[in-house]
């Protein structure tokens, strides 16, 4: 995956941490849960990046074999 995806997932994770923290501070359970959800989505995105990178690296050496 590209740098744009990595930056988007990092931003989503950071925003989720801020939301969760603000939700805890203000006793806003909905915002706290929304922050956790944002962090979970970012984690899934990061995992997908790792899988895509691993597949790309595994296929890349064989791409010239024809």
* pLDDT attached to residue 2: 80
Q: Would you state the pLDDT for residue 60?
A: 81
Determine contact, residues 54/62, Cβ cutoff 8 Å: no
pLDDT value at 6 more than 60:
yes
Overall pTM > 0.85: no
pLDDT, tens digit, 9 for 90 and up, residues 19-45 = 999 999 999 999 999 999 999 999 999
């Amino acid at each position: 995956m590209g740098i744009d995806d990595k930056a988007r997932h990092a931003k989503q994770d950071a925003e989720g941490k801020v939301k969760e923290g603000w939700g805890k501070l203000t006793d806003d359970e909905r915002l706290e849960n929304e922050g956790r959800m944002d962090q979970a989505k970012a984690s899934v995105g990061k995992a997908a990046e790792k899988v895509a990178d691993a597949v790309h690296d595994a296929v890349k050496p064989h791409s010239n074999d024809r």
